[in-house]
Amino acid sequence: MSGTATAATITDPQSRQWYLDAMKADEIWQSATGEGIKVAVIDSGVDPTTPSLQGQVLGGRDLTGVKGEATDDFDGHGTSMAELIAGTGKGGGLKGLAPGAKIIPFRVSDTELQNKEKVNAFDMQEAIRAAADSDAKIISVSMGSEFYSSEERDAVEYAQSKGKLLFAGVGNSAKKGNKPQYPASYPEAVAVAGSSTDGEVSDYSQHGDFVDIAAPADDIPGWCDEKFDAYCDGDGGTSAATAIASASAALIWSKHPEWTGNQVLRVMFESAGRGKDWKPGTVSNYLGHGIVRPGAHINRGLGKPGDPGVSPLTNERVGGPSGSTASPRPSAPASSPGPQDKPDFVAEAKGRDTAASAGDSSSTGLVIGGVAAVVVLGAAAAYAVARRRRSA
């Protein structure tokens, strides 16, 4: 989960959720809470018994191949992400940005579990397809791998063709090679970067022209471990940013249940927070279209939904009303102009980000990647060794 900070136990995690006040969440909740929207959380599992998640978690699936259910969280990460999305805050737990939403958990493995157990080598792609076939409108993936997989990308394309919005963290290794991370770097996924309390990109958040949008990542707590005895302080990383971006989509979609995912995402892009020096029509390699700002649309009407059948990620007709069709290999993401006013809760984008624009030259997930994301041993093709999958 963590971006960079060393975790320390805390007793009042809500006091650390600075972004809720900054986003004026109380005002947003007067108009939209995420009610009626289901969010699939593909992660380490989601424990439905924490006070903040009681009554918030629906039946899901375990895809790991390891003994347990989708509600058996093996390290606490998935439960933290679920609380950031839809937690009620009961018992002093984390408050979700979309407390009216419901969570559908899909459990997959990370590197630590892979090192301990024989796991399903294809759990991520199977989880994405299962989530696409579920009642969830939004798929939140706060995990990733450095390995491109055509099968996994096919699953992401399938989710898009079903009208789902799949958000994935870009990763926390900007200072350690900054290698593209998947599924975030697939063009059909919404790649989420992390932002700091002052509105700049988090120094660990990975960057490149695969970044689509950003959300708060610094100084966001989560459960310390699978024991669920205490919350820990620290950076939530792009994992938390992904959860918050997913919750932002849930808020907008609950406000406009008749919209398609394309329209929800387009409004997110057009209403995102940007600094005054941001050039119109450009997309940053660090913050994408800007920092999520659901209140700018819900309370102020910024952002237009546009064509329900055209993806703002690829400009291809896909995932809209009945009859829309998908291109098997869409082109690179297109720039989407939006409002240029100063963000509600962030300082002017500066330093690393002011020079970033759609013209920056970086490797894109469309062509980067080597072999498949797994190394299969023996005849049992459904099981694999570690894939170096980590929290985003």
The pLDDT of residue 8 is above 60: yes
- Whether 74 has a pLDDT exceeding 60, the answer reads yes
Mean of the per-residue pLDDT values for the chain? Answer: 84
pLDDT of residue 196: 97
Please state the CATH superfamily assignment of the domain spanning residues 9-391 in this structure.
Peptidase S8/S53 domain (3.40.50.200)
Residue whose pair of structure tokens reads 């969830």 in the numeric block: 136
* Distances 117 to 57, 63, 233, 347, 389 between C-alpha atoms, Å: 26, 13, 29, 46, 14
User: Is 355's pLDDT higher than 50?
Assistant: no
CA-to-CA distance for 352 and 205, rounded, in angstroms?
12
Active site residues: 43, 77, 239
The pLDDT of residue 339 is above 80: no
pLDDT tens-digit map of 197-220: 999 999 999 999 999 999 999 999
Q: How far is 180 from 173, CA to CA, in rounded Å?
A: 9
Portion of the chain with pLDDT greater than 90, in percent? 75
Please compute the mean of the pLDDT values over residues 136-143 and round it to a whole number: 98
Lowest mean pLDDT among 11-20, 36-45, 120-129, 348-357: 348-357
Alpha helices in 110-259 (DSSP H): 111-116, 123-132, 150-161, 237-255
What pLDDT does 311 receive?
A: 97
Average pLDDT over residues 279-308: 95
Question: pTM of this prediction?
Answer: 0.84
pLDDT at 103 over 90: yes
Query: Is residue 359's pLDDT more than 50?
Result: no
